[in-house]
Amino acid sequence: MDELPKENSGRYFRPLRPRILWQVVKAAGLLPITTVFGALFVVNSVVAWVFEPDIGTFGDAAWFTFAVVTTVGLGDFTCETAVGRLTTIVMSLYSIFYLALVTGAVVNYCSERLKAQRDESIAALVDKLERLPELSHEELVEISERVKNRA
């Protein structure tokens, strides 16, 4: 990954917000396939809306496409025409790979953040240990508590 978004360092990991998720997608170089994914989503929705007799509105067609992408089920609408089935197959296959790539990028981002936090914490502790004779009683107690809490 190029440059990861920076967040407040904290002991507990915060959930990804949409803005951070977008930065992760950009940093991972997934913008081109995200654009294709969005275009396929719209194309599949339009094809379902235009060609499928049971799908009467674009909203219903978008819901159908969402159901295909997320695999939540196709109980509301189904495709009966060849063109609808073909675009749905393409959308389904592409979304499997796309969602796997985005998931991998997010996992990599989270792993990198946790590793950076751990390295930062270790570096701060080593710095204090190098200055052990100079530390105050309070700082020594803090180091002792941190070590006890980690064990």
Residues 74-97 have pLDDT tens digits of 677 888 899 999 999 999 999 999
Given a contact cutoff of 8 angstroms between Cβ atoms, the answer to whether 85 and 48 are in contact is no
Question: Residue 80 domain-assigned?
Answer: yes
Query: What is the spatial distance between Cα 123 and Cα 91, in angstroms, rounded to a whole number?
Result: 47
Comparing 13-22, 43-52, 113-122, 140-149, which segment has the lowest mean pLDDT?
13-22
pTM above 0.85, yes or no: no
Question: Residue 49 domain-assigned?
Answer: yes
Question: Residue 78 domain-assigned?
Answer: yes
Residues in the chain, overall count: 151
Q: What is the mean pLDDT of the chain?
A: 83
pLDDT in tens, 3-34: 544 544 445 556 668 888 888 888 888 899 99
Question: Residue 8 domain-assigned?
Answer: no
Given a contact cutoff of 8 angstroms between Cβ atoms, the answer to whether 110 and 13 are in contact is yes
Which residues lie closer than 8 Å to 139 by C-beta, 6 or more apart?
A: 128
The residue segments making up the domain with residue 91 are 18-110
Question: Residue 142 domain-assigned?
Answer: no
pLDDT of 2 above 70: no
We report the CATH number of the domain holding residue 69 as 1.10.287.70
Burial pattern 95-127, b for ≥16 Cβ within 10 A else e, equals: beebeebbeebbeebeeebeeeeeeeeeeeeee
Question: Residue 137 domain-assigned?
Answer: no
Query: Based on the structure, what is the number of domains in the chain?
Result: 1
Query: What is the spatial distance between Cα 99 and Cα 111, in angstroms, rounded to a whole number?
Result: 18
Query: What is the spatial distance between Cα 47 and Cα 84, in angstroms, rounded to a whole number?
Result: 6
